[in-house]
Amino acid sequence: MKNEKNFVEKRSGMIEREAKPRTSGINYVRAPKILGQNFADFLNCYSALTDIVKLGTNQLTFIPEKEIKKAIQRSHDQEVLIALGNPIMDQALSAGSKAAMEVINYAAGLGVDVMEISVIARAIDDEDLAELLEYIKNKGMKPLVECGLSFAHEPVVDGRTFAKRKKVQAKRALENGAWKILVEAEGVFENVKSGEERWDFVDDFTADFEVRDLMFEADNQDVMSYYVNAYGPKVNVLIDYSQVMQIEAARRGYGPCTLTWAKAAVFSKDGN
């Protein structure tokens, strides 16, 4: 499916989306746990709204490789990129450079387009990260660097977040070839009590970045709506496959809740 419009969309007053391939307004979508026909049905319905599908480590572990390859081919046939998420790279990096290269080479051989690298789940020097990013790029894949407020498996403690260090690390990663920076939800609004969300971290962390260089994990309709309000309808987000319609509604000023209703706006001197 290549950016096809249905009867309603052709006649609605909603904002039109840029055609794929997009450089902003990217929907980075976690794949359904069950692939096969279930995944094919998802692509048939939503491939025009899905830029990247993220396969998880457990899927690579428990689903036969031939089915993984079918899912990747189906995605590419419908102009959807494939990403490989953690913890497979976390585990490989802990095992050493040889193990990490083996995983990267395997992913490239499968046809993976985007590799996630976490600098909050693993502690890595800037120089080593730069070499890792270069290795991934040389294999034909885009490195996506995950950063955030909370170090993995650690509580958020004021005065011990190393927020300035994380911002510098993310900037250096972009300078050294990272495709985008993924802002992790943990500690911001995930596993946080209501009223104690840390949007201040997101605001401070992202203030000096170009929005197109960032990706935000947005796991419920209020969160995705906050991000659209703050960064505009072309913000890049990581969402569950069940939320594609919600984020598209938010991008076009058509919901999914009153936070974004009729607020989305775009302009291009080309009239597109």
pLDDT digits (tens, 9 = 90+) for 40-76: 999 999 999 999 999 999 999 999 999 999 999 999 9
Reading phi first (left if > 0) and then psi (alpha if -120 to 50, else beta), residue 192 is in: beta
Q: Are 29 and 239 in contact (CB under 8 A)?
A: yes
Question: Which residue has 């079918």 as its token pair?
Answer: 70
CATH number for 125: 3.20.20.70
pLDDT mean across residues, the chain: 92
Residue 13 scores a pLDDT above 80: no
168, 183, 211: which is the final residue of a domain? 211
Percent above pLDDT 70 for the chain: 94
Identify the CA nearest to 185 among candidates 216, 221, 154, 144: 216
Q: What is the DSSP string of 143-188?
A: EEEEE-SSPTT----TT-S-HHHHHHHHHHHHHTT-SEEEE--BTT
Question: Per the structure, how many domains does the chain have?
Answer: 2
Q: What is the pLDDT of residue 154?
A: 84
Q: What is the pLDDT of residue 261?
A: 80
Residue 7 scores a pLDDT above 80: no
Q: Are residues 20 and 93 in the same domain?
A: no
Q: What is the pLDDT of residue 158?
A: 86
Q: What CA–CA distance (Å, rounded) separates 230 from 225?
A: 9
Q: Are residues 118 and 195 in the same domain?
A: yes
Domain boundaries, position 159: 88-211
Model confidence at 4, pLDDT cuts 50, 70, 90, reads low
Least confident of 26-30, 35-39, 101-105, 151-155: 151-155
Model confidence at 213, pLDDT cuts 50, 70, 90, reads very high
Q: Looking at the DSSP assignment, which residues form a beta bridge with residue 28?
A: 52, 238
Distance between alpha carbon 37 and the CA centroid of its chain, in Å?
24
Residue 124 scores a pLDDT above 60: yes
153-194 per-position pLDDT tens digit: 888 888 888 999 999 999 999 999 999 999 999 999 888 888
Q: Are residues 135 and 198 in the same domain?
A: yes
**CB-side neighbour CA atoms (13 Å) of 125:** 3
